[in-house]
Amino acid sequence: MGIKFKKFTPDLMVSDVATTVKFYTKKLGFKLDMLVPENEKTMETNLIDDKEYIYAMLSRDEVFVMFMRKDVYAADIPALSGVPIGASAAFYCGVENVGELYHSYEENGVPIIKDIATTWYGMKEFYIRDCHGYILGFAEPAPRP
């Protein structure tokens, strides 16, 4: 039996998990799947405003993303100690109805850093910056002329 990759889920370092959850759910349309409160070995599914969290998993359709607070991430993976939040990468997400998504993010005040356009390589795409500086791209194949 050969090796089979099944899923690729980014786990991003953030300074504040609750702020991140609010941004992704209210502005980007993600669903909160799970939270881990600070100093507790429990999982929750509802965000409580005055509570501190160290980890969250969110999803939208078949796309999942995880977020871990910087100090906890550095303790869990010491190689990340001292690494700044953010990345020298863009996370590229295939979607359906990219134009509709673009307009909904524009209406929600999401920081769009590259307007929707059709590329020379046949994709209709746009890019945003999230509340921690991560770059997210959204794209679908452009209709052929």
Tens digit of each residue's pLDDT (9 = 90 or more) over 8-57: 899 999 999 999 999 999 999 999 999 999 999 999 999 998 999 999 99
pLDDT of residue 43: 95
User: What domains can you pick out in the chain, each with its CATH number?
Assistant: 1-83 (3.10.180.10), 86-145 (3.30.720.110)
pLDDT of residue 3: 61
pLDDT of residue 87: 78
4: pLDDT strictly greater than 80: no
Could you report the per-residue pLDDT of 49-86, keeping only the tens digit for each? Answer: 899 999 999 999 999 999 999 999 999 989 888 888 88
Q: How far, in Å, CA of 121 to CA of 46, rounded? A: 41
Sign of the four-CA dihedral 87, 93, 97, 98: positive
Residues 6+ apart with CB under 8 A from 17: 35, 52, 53, 54, 55, 56, 67, 68, 69
89: pLDDT strictly greater than 90: no
- Rounded to 5 degrees, what are φ and ψ at 16? -145, 110
pLDDT of residue 35: 97
Q: How far, in Å, CA of 60 to CA of 76, rounded? A: 26
Residues 6+ apart with CB under 8 A from 140: 94, 95, 96, 97, 98, 123, 124, 125
Q: Quick one: how far is CA 25 from the chain centroid?
A: 10
pLDDT of residue 23: 97
pLDDT of residue 25: 97
Helix ranges, the chain (H) = 17-22, 70-76, 98-107
